[in-house]
């Protein structure tokens, strides 16, 4: 192969790699809140919700591909070598196959290995916009807010930004993670201690404290069939009695409602205590009202 041809091939390859890896990174850097959802998953890798993980998986997939190709080439070269029957030209060709395969494999692995030996952090692709500001120190959890708010979004579990990015709340995962933390502290089984009926049954349940009376139809709950005295108006469950919190602020302790169908109430409550189902219900609420259904939490957290 002539030198010119080699230069052309390597230049083309380099440019292709530049476009494949660098160009998308520039796009993501320019558009920080770009949500990336690949249409197809890479073989052997789970579906990713962020671009950095996808690129990382793509690189690993490339290494595996190079390894498998090298193995195939070595086997072919070995077969050619064995079948050369002492023919010098065939033997040289076979040796060329094997040598090229081994050199290719070593080159592919060396790039990663050298960077990894220098500093393992070098092989981790990080986007400035992914929720890396939150602490990953075990046992200390969630020190700071993300997405512009002041509440702390959990680093793991159902309320985490990472999890919400894989749900229908992906487009506002940063804000909704804070809302989720403020509403329930990330507790999927939480029954509200303030949204209580006169019979002490809670009507706001789970991660996003979804209101069973008027906001849980997407979870298959019919509020008016479960609670008495509940109509379409919010006045139908006006405050029954008040209490005062530690700062002397009055709040409603019980609402003017009552459970009339315990079986349906428990069924609806169980549904909303499932993290995924609660998030789906929150999606439905959020799609029409943004952060509105959680206006108090949004205000406390400064999410807008």
Partner 1 sequence: MKKKALILSVIIIALLLILFLVLFFKNKQNSSVPTNTIPTSDKILLPIGKDNVSVNNYYKEPSSVIIDEKDVVMEKNENYDILAYNYNNKRSFLISIKGGDSLEATRQLAESAFLQKLGITKEQACLLNVSMTLVIPGENFPAQDYGLSFCPNSKALPLLK
Binding mask 105-144 for partner 1 (x = CB under 8 A): x-------------------------------xxxxxxx-
Asked if 166 interacts with partner 1 (CB under 8 A), we say yes
Contacts of 253 (CB under 8 A, 6+ apart): 194, 196, 240, 241, 242, 243
Q: Per CB under 8 A, which region of 31-39, 98-106, 221-229, 283-291 contacts partner 1?
A: 98-106
Residue 190 lies near partner 1 (rule: CB under 8 A): yes
DSSP 186: T
Query: How far is it, in rounded angstroms, from Cα 28 to Cα 31?
Result: 5
- Of 34 and 253, CB closest to partner 1: 253
Rounded Cα gap, residues 132 and 183, in angstroms: 23
If the CB atoms of residues 274 and 280 are measured against partner 1, the closer one turns out to be: 274
Using rule CB under 8 A, residue 243 touches partner 1: yes
Angle ∠(107,44,64) on CA atoms, nearest 5: 15
Stretch that binds partner 1, among 7-15, 191-199, 211-219, 287-295 (CB under 8 A): 191-199
Q: Which residues lie below 8 Å from residue 92, measured CB to CB, with a gap of 6+? A: none
- Region binding partner 1 by CB under 8 A among candidate stretches 30-38, 162-170, 214-222, 257-265: 162-170
Contact 161, 133 (CB under 8 A): no
Q: Quote the CA–CA distance of 145 and 163 in Å, as a whole number.
A: 16
The answer to whether residue 160 forms part of the interface with partner 1 (CB under 8 A) is yes
Chain center to CA of 242: 40
Residues lying near partner 1 in the complex (CB under 8 A): 67, 70-71, 74, 78, 81, 95, 98, 102, 105, 137-143, 150-152, 154-158, 160, 162-163, 166, 178, 181-182, 184-190, 192-194, 243-247, 249, 251, 253, 273-276, 296, 300-301
């Amino acid at each position: 192969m002539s030198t010119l041809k080699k230069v052309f091939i390597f230049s083309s390859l380099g440019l292709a790699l530049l476009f494949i890896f660098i160009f998308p990174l520039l796009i993501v850097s320019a558009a920080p809140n770009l949500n990336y959802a690949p249409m197809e998953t890479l073989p052997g890798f789970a579906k990713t919700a962020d671009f950095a993980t996808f690129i990382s998986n793509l690189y690993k997939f490339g290494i595996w591909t190079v390894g498998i190709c090298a193995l195939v080439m070595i086997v072919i070269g070995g077969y050619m070598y064995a079948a050369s029957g002492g023919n010098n030209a065939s033997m040289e060709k076979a040796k060329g196959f094997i040598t090229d395969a081994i050199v290719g494999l070593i080159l592919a692995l060396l790039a990663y290995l050298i960077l990894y030996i220098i500093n393992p952090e070098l092989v981790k692709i990080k986007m400035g916009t992914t929720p890396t500001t939150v602490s990953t120190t075990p046992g200390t959890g969630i020190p700071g807010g993300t997405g512009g708010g002041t509440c702390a979004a959990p680093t793991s579990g159902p309320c985490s930004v990472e999890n919400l990015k894989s749900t229908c709340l992906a487009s506002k995962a940063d804000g909704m993670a804070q809302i989720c933390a403020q509403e329930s502290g990330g507790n999927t089984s939480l029954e509200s201690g303030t949204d209580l009926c006169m019979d002490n049954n809670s009507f706001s349940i789970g991660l996003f404290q979804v209101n069973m009376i008027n906001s849980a139809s997407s979870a298959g709950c019919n509020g008016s069939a479960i609670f008495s005295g509940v109509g379409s108006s919010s006045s139908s469950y006006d405050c029954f009695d008040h209490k005062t919190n530690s700062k002397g602020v009055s709040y409603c302790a019980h609402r003017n409602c009552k459970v009339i169908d315990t079986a349906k109430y428990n069924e609806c409550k169980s549904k909303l205590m499932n993290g995924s189902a609660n998030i789906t219900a929150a999606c439905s609420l959020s799609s029409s009202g943004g952060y509105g259904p959680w206006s108090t939490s949004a205000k406390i957290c400064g999410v807008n």
